[in-house]
């Protein structure tokens, strides 16, 4: 014969099971929320020329897009440094960020560098461009030491748009001299991606001739609409490549 279980005891059992399930769910939810994306780069990553870079920079917009797309378990961190290079020679450069990554141990890293490498005298970055591949590979190696499972995306720099409204003759001359270097770096970064077996995102071609997306009198940094466009390019790539998953 089956022994009848009293109602209070049944309630106690159900409560215990519900509590266990709640704890398990909370554990998995907490783990899911721990995935982090580190956006590393120069002033374009930092959100230069924006009035509210904390909410309008491409990493901030990317974070919003991920939430809207129901990729809820990703936290985006902005590691943009104005004027920075991935060249060790450059001042400033991106190498001090490695210390911050030690604590974060990011699951995804997006690197957008190259614009400031095109600068010559007096900063002399371009004069050290033969060190670019070695420094970039070394940077990737350090990220992998921090988290061997990290997904790494390296991006080519945005094109410089000579057609941007309000450019001075001096600025046009400067950009005309530097723009071919942007395209050379695009090829070199693509080769680095192949040799290091990381993902490559082309951000150069999508900005060709996009004067309406650039800050007036600048031609290098996007405006508010341009930063949203940049974020959408990164978001679409992460989703289509299944680097982010629900």
Say what the pLDDT of residue 85 is: 98
Write the DSSP symbol of residue 162.
Answer: T
C-beta of residue 158 within 8 angstroms of C-beta of residue 218: no
Average pLDDT over residues 23-47: 77
- Determine, yes or no, domain membership for 75: yes
Average pLDDT over residues 76-86: 98
Q: How confident is the model at residue 32 (pLDDT cuts 50, 70, 90)?
A: low
102's tokens = 């030690």
Q: For the residues 190-202, what does the mean pLDDT come to?
A: 98
In-domain check, residue 30? no
Domain extent, residue 100, equals: 36-240
CATH assignment at residue 224? 3.40.50.1110
Identify which has the larger pLDDT, 44 or 2: 44
Question: From CA 98, how far away is CA 88, in angstroms rounded?
Answer: 12
pLDDT at residue number 34: 79
Helix (H, G, I), strand (E, B) or coil at 200: strand
Number of CB atoms found within 10 A of residue 78's CB: 20
Q: Measured at the alpha carbon of residue 245, what is the angle toward residues 242 and 246, in degrees to the nearest 5?
A: 150
Query: Which tokens go with 51?
Result: 């009035």
Average pLDDT for 18-36: 58
Contact assessment for residue 161 and residue 210, using Cβ atoms and an 8 Å cutoff: yes
> Of residues 18 and 106, which shows the higher confidence score?
106
Residue 30: pLDDT band by 50, 70, 90 thresholds?
A: very low
Task: Name which residue leads in pLDDT, 26 or 226.
Answer: 226
Report the pLDDT averaged over residues 19-33: 52
Tokens for 13, please give them: 């059992």
What pLDDT shows up at residue 82?
A: 98
Across all residues in the chain, what is the average pLDDT? 92
The answer to the question of residue 5 being in a domain is no
Number of domains observed in the structure of the chain: 1
On whether residue 18 sits in a domain, the answer given is no
Q: Where are the beta strands (DSSP E) in the chain?
A: 35-41, 74-80, 108-112, 151-155, 199-201
Confidence of residue 58 (pLDDT cuts 50, 70, 90): very high
């Amino acid at each position: 014969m089956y022994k009848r279980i009293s109602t209070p005891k049944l309630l106690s059992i159900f409560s215990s099971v519900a509590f266990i399930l709640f704890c398990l769910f909370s554990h998995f939810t907490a783990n899911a929320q721990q995935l982090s994306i580190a956006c590393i780069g120069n002033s374009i990553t930092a959100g230069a020329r924006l009035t509210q870079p904390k909410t309008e920079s491409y990493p901030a917009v990317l974070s919003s897009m991920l939430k809207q797309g129901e990729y809820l378990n990703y936290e985006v961190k902005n590691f943009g440094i104005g004027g920075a290079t991935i060249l060790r020679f450059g001042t400033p450069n991106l190498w001090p960020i490695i210390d911050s990554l030690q604590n974060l141990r990011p699951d995804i890293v997006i690197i957008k560098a190259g614009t400031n490498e095109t600068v010559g005298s007096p900063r002399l970055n371009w004069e050290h461009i033969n060190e670019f591949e070695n420094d970039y590979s070394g940077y990737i190696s350090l990220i992998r030491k921090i988290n061997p499972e990290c997904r790494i995306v390296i991006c080519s720099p945005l094109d410089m748009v000579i057609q941007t409204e309000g450019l001075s003759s001096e600025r046009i001359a400067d950009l005309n001299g530097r723009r071919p270097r942007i395209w050379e770096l695009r090829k070199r970064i693509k080769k680095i991606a192949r040799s290091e077996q990381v993902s490559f995102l082309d951000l150069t071609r999508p900005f060709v001739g996009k004067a309406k997306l650039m800050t007036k009198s600048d031609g290098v940094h996007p405006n508010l609409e341009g930063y949203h466009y940049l974020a959408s390019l990164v978001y679409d790539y992460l989703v289509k490549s299944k680097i982010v998953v629900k």
